[in-house]
């Protein structure tokens, strides 16, 4: 086989690997060192891989890259922006998920624990905010049925996040 045929087969293999999603831990394509400008132009741009934000850390990671997320914990991406009593819905928590990742879409799963004004548990709800695009913010209202007694002060209701996780989509 001639050298140009070997090169063509190698380039084809790299393109197939990049397009089918066969990846190492956090990167794509065939070049493990970096996305240098000396790579072959016949790969159709597939030399781009997901460890472009190595400048977030102070050192390199073994295995070819970092997680490309500004926050290491999903709890940093999810928060309760309000917790109020609504006579028609009960206790309502507005939960906000901000995907701080620059490449990956995530689904955030979490629990919300609701307490009445006296601190007694009302309910724990499992919820999710699906498909939050990279850099985007989505909100979700999570409600727990609660009927306040006549004349009861409802300003002391509380909502607490529990078990926050995220999954790449």
Over the stretch 24-63, which tens digit does the pLDDT of each residue have?
444 444 444 444 444 333 333 333 333 333 333 333 223 3
Confirm whether pTM is higher than 0.85: no
Domain region containing 34: 3-56
Contact in structure between 117 and 87 (CB atoms under 8 Å): no
State whether 46 and 7 are in the same domain.
yes
Rounded to 5°, the CA angle 143-115-111 comes to 55
Helices (H), the chain: 3-20
Judge whether 69 lies within some domain: no
- Whether residue 86 sits in one domain with residue 140: yes
Beta bridge partners of 137: 98
CB atoms within 10 A of CB 92: 20
Q: Identify the CATH number of the domain in which residue 127 sits.
A: 2.60.40
144 near 160, Cβ under 8 Å?
A: no
Within a domain: 149: yes
Query: For residue 11, what pLDDT band results from cuts at 50, 70 and 90?
Result: low
Question: What integer best gives the mean pLDDT of the chain?
Answer: 72
pLDDT for the residue numbered 4: 55
Spatial distance between the Cα atoms of 86 and 89, rounded to a whole number of angstroms:
5
Looking at the structure, tell me whether residues 43 and 79 fall in a common domain.
no
What is d(CA 95, CA 79) in angstroms, rounded to the nearest whole number? Answer: 6
Residue 49 lies in a domain: yes
Query: Do residue 160 and residue 90 come from a single domain?
Result: yes
Residue of 104, 95, 112, 103 whose CA lies nearest to 166: 104
The rounded percent of the chain whose pLDDT value lies above 70 is 57
Is residue 23 a part of any domain in this protein? yes
Confidence label for 82 from pLDDT (cuts 50, 70 and 90)? very high
**pLDDT for res 150:** 84
Give the separation between CA 74 and CA 98, rounded to whole angstroms: 10
Query: C-alpha angle with apex 47: 43 to 53, nearest 5 degrees?
Result: 160
Q: Are residues 86 and 164 in the same domain?
A: yes
**Tally of structural domains, the chain:** 2
Q: What angle do CA 120, 92, 86 make, to 5 degrees?
A: 95
């Amino acid at each position: 086989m001639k050298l140009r045929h070997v090169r063509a087969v190698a380039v084809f293999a790299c393109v197939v690997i990049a397009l089918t999603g066969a990846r190492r831990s956090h990167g794509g394509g065939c070049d493990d060192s970096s996305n240098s400008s000396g790579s072959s132009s016949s790969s159709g741009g597939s030399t781009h891989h997901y460890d472009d934000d190595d400048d977030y850390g102070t050192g390199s990671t073994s295995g070819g890259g970092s997680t490309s997320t500004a926050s290491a914990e999903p709890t940093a991406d999810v928060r309760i922006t309000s917790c109020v009593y609504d006579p028609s819905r009960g206790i309502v928590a507005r939960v906000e998920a901000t995907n701080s990742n620059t490449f990956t879409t995530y689904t955030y799963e979490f629990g919300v624990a609701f307490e009445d004004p006296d601190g007694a548990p009302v309910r724990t709800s499992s919820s999710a905010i699906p498909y939050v695009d990279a850099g985007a913010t989505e909100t979700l209202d999570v409600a727990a049925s609660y009927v306040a007694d006549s004349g009861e002060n409802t300003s002391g209701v509380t909502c607490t996040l529990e078990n926050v996780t995220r999954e790449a989509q």
